[in-house]
Chains A and B, each alone.
Chain A
C-alpha cells in the first residue's frame, strides 16, 4: 500500500507540473493585493474615527442643550406671563 501511495503522490506531482500555469490561474486570486490597492484609495480609518468622536461630542452638546430647553419650558411660560402683566 505504501508503494502504491508513493506512486500516486509521484503521479500527482507529475500531473501538477504539467498543469502548473493552469492551476496557478485557477487558484491565485491576488485578493490581498486587491485589498491593499483599495485600502490606499479609500479613507483613513484613524482619521475617520477622530472625526466621528468630534461629531459625537457636538451631538452630546446638542442633546444637553435640548434637555436644558425642555426643562426651561415652564420657566419661559411664566416669564411671558410676567412680561404680559408688566405691559
Chain B
C-alpha cells in the first residue's frame, strides 16, 4: 500500500511537468486528414499526367508512325509480291485469305509497337505511384505516432487533474490564490504610487538634502 502510494505520487508528479491543450490532439488528427487529402490529390494528378502521356503516344502511333510504317512496308519486296498475288488472284476466297494474311501481319506490328510505347509509361506510372504511396505512408506513420503520444500526454493530464481534485479542494485553493494575488496587486500598486510621488518631489528632496549637507 505504501509503495503504491509512492508510485502514485511519483506518477502525478511526472505528469505535472507541462500543460498540453486539447487543441494539440485535435490539430494532430486534422493533420492526418490533411495528409490523406494531399495524397489522394497527388495520386489523381499523377494518374492524369500518365494518361496524357499515353494519349500522346497513341496519337503519335496513329498519326505519324503507322502511315510511315505502311510506306516502308510496301517498299519490301515480299510485301509487293504478296500484294501482286492478291491482285492476280481470280478466286474471291483466295483474295480474302491473302488480304487477311497481310492485315494480320500489319496488325501484329501495330500492336507490338503500341505495347513498346505504352509499357514503359505503365511501368513508370506504377513505380511513381508506389513511391508516393510509400512516402505518404511514412508521413502518416510519423504523424500517427505523434498523435498517439500527444493523446497519451493529454489523457495523463486529465487523470492527474482528476486525482488532484480528489486530494485537494481545488475551489478553496483557487480562492486562497485569488486573495493572495489581490493582496500582492494592492502592495504593488502602493509601491508604484510611492515611486511616482518620489519622482515628482525628487528635485525638492534633492534641494533639501543639499541644504542639510551645506
Contact = CB atoms under 8 A, between A and B. Distances in A.
Given A4-B79, A35-B131, A42-B135, A66 B155 contact: yes
Interface string A62-80: 1101101110110111011
Interface string B140-155: 0110011011001101
Contacts of A80: 166-168
B156 A15 contact: no
Give the size range of A's interface with the partner: 35 or more
B37 interface: no
Interface in B118-139: 120-121, 124, 127-128, 131, 135, 138
Interface of B: 4-5, 7-8, 11-12, 14-15, 53, 56-57, 60, 64-65, 68-69, 72-73, 75-79, 82, 101-102, 105-106, 108-109, 112-113, 116-117, 120-121, 124, 127-128, 131, 135, 138, 141-142, 145-146, 148-149, 152-153, 155-156, 159-160, 162-163, 166-168
Interface of A: 1, 3-12, 14-16, 18-19, 22-23, 26-29, 31-32, 34-35, 38, 42-43, 45, 48, 52, 55-56, 58-59, 62-63, 65-66, 68-70, 72-73, 75-77, 79-80
